[in-house]
């Protein structure tokens, strides 16, 4: 037990990593980052300022709105940034306007101390979305960003701007409670050795010998996150009520998950009015983000989810 507090290795870290980062390596994984992501700099190209809080959000826009097609907003996961969505958004821009934004404190966005919780993040993101385009939006979020996506959609649906939500590597069990002890232990380990713990985190997901340059790229990007932002983000869901959000949503919700563990579809359907899950079969066990590990398979499932959001004739 003494060694666990220092390195946080073993089953506990693997479980925590699978909950926070994203899903899983299997026979369909890619062993190198997409060429367009090599040397990625998350510095803002476009930026938006929240007039009330002073928080600046960095974002990238891909393509233009196509007729009545909803725009797509991409939200990243813990210790990630908007560039993790660049390969996906670059492809989808042919049919949809896509916007990838950094959550406050991550990538090129500024941080407001004490504002690390899904409700504040979603409020800022929703205000940002409404300021750049008043049409309908589909909100796609990875892991931690999935919760922010759900809350953002809950705000946008009040004005009819939410068209649907896609949660990537999430909603496995909507009734699962926040594990305070595990997350506090990881937070303490990050405080003591941030760079080393990020290395352990990524290595616990998928050994570098299997993922090569992709694993190294993700670890490098994650380590650019400020330590305080990372720890605050880890604890952001401590008092968060996911069930209340799901019950309030009226727009369709889709999950894209890996085979790492069972998605409790019936539990989600008891809370959500319109829910389905798509499983990326190529990804098994602990690992990295679905959209990077198996981009082709992931985009196929995302395409199915987007098709679900089209109105029936």
Tell me the average pLDDT across 110-121. Answer: 84
Tell me the average pLDDT across 225-244. Answer: 93
Helix 118-132 to helix 144-156 angle (10° resolution) is 60
Residue 41 phi/psi, 5-degree rounding, is -115, 115
80 in any annotated domain: yes
Model confidence pLDDT, tens digit, residues 28-44: 455 566 665 655 566 66
179 in any annotated domain: yes
Model confidence pLDDT, tens digit, residues 169-223: 999 999 999 999 999 999 999 999 999 999 988 887 766 666 677 888 888 999 9
CATH code for the domain of 178: 3.40.50.1820
Model confidence pLDDT, tens digit, residues 67-96: 889 999 999 999 999 999 999 999 999 999
Q: Are 212 and 31 in contact (CB under 8 A)?
A: yes
313 in any annotated domain: no
Say whether pLDDT at 49 is over 70: yes
What range does the domain containing 230 cover? 2-308
129 in any annotated domain: yes
Model confidence pLDDT, tens digit, residues 133-173: 998 999 999 999 999 999 999 999 999 999 999 999 999 99
203 in any annotated domain: yes
pLDDT at res. 28: 47
Residue 51 — very low, low, confident or very high, per pLDDT cuts 50/70/90?
confident
Q: Are 88 and 291 in contact (CB under 8 A)?
A: yes
Give dist(CA 275, CA 138) in Å, integer: 15
Give dist(CA 13, CA 185) in Å, integer: 10
Residue 258 — very low, low, confident or very high, per pLDDT cuts 50/70/90?
confident
111 in any annotated domain: yes
Say whether pLDDT at 125 is over 80: yes
Q: Are 171 and 243 in contact (CB under 8 A)?
A: no
Say whether pLDDT at 285 is over 70: no
Pairing of strands 56-62, 46-49: antiparallel
Number of domains within the chain: 1
Tokens of 163: 């068209």
% of the chain beyond a pLDDT of 70: 81
Say whether pLDDT at 310 is over 70: yes
pLDDT at res. 38: 52
Q: Return the higher-pLDDT residue of 241 and 52.
A: 241
Give dist(CA 84, CA 169) in Å, integer: 14
Range among 64-68, 69-73, 234-238 rated most confident:
69-73
Tokens of 162: 């939410």
Distances (CA, A) of 40 to 2, 59, 80, 81, 255: 38, 14, 12, 10, 28
Which strands form 56-62's sheet, in the order they lie side by side? 46-49, 56-62, 98-101, 71-75, 137-142, 162-168, 253-258, 275-280
Say whether pLDDT at 6 is over 70: no
């Amino acid at each position: 037990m003494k060694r666990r507090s220092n390195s946080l290795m073993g089953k506990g870290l693997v479980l925590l990593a699978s909950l926070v980062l994203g899903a899983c390596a299997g026979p369909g994984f890619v062993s190198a980052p997409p060429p367009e992501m090599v040397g990625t700099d998350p510095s803002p190209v476009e930026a938006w300022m929240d007039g009330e809080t002073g928080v600046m959000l960095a974002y990238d826009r891909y393509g233009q709105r196509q007729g009545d097609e909803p725009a797509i907003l991409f939200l990243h996961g813990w210790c990630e940034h908007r560039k993790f969505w660049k390969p996906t958004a670059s492809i989808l821009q042919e049919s949809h306007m896509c916007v990838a934004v950094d959550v406050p404190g991550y990538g090129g966005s500024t941080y407001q101390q004490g504002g690390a919780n899904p409700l504040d993040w979603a409020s800022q993101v929703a205000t940002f979305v409404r300021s750049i385009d008043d049409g309908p939006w589909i909100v796609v979020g990875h892991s931690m960003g999935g919760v922010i996506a759900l809350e953002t959609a809950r705000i946008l649906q009040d004005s009819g701007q939410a068209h649907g939500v896609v949660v990537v590597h999430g909603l496995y069990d909507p009734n699962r409670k926040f594990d305070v002890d595990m997350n506090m232990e990881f937070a303490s380990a990050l405080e003591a050795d941030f760079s080393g713990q990020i290395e352990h985190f990524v290595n616990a997901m998928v050994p570098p010998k299997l993922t090569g340059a992709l694993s190294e790229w993700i670890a490098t990007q994650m380590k650019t996150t400020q330590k305080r932002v990372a720890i605050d983000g880890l604890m952001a869901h401590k008092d968060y009520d996911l069930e209340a959000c799901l019950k309030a949503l009226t727009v369709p919700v889709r999950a894209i998950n890996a085979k790492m563990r069972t998605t409790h579809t019936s539990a989600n359907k008891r809370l959500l009015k319109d829910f389905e899950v798509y499983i990326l079969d190529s990804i098994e066990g602990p690992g990295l983000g679905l959209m990077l590990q198996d981009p082709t398979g992931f985009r196929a499932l995302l395409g199915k989810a987007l098709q679900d959001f089209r109105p029936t004739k």
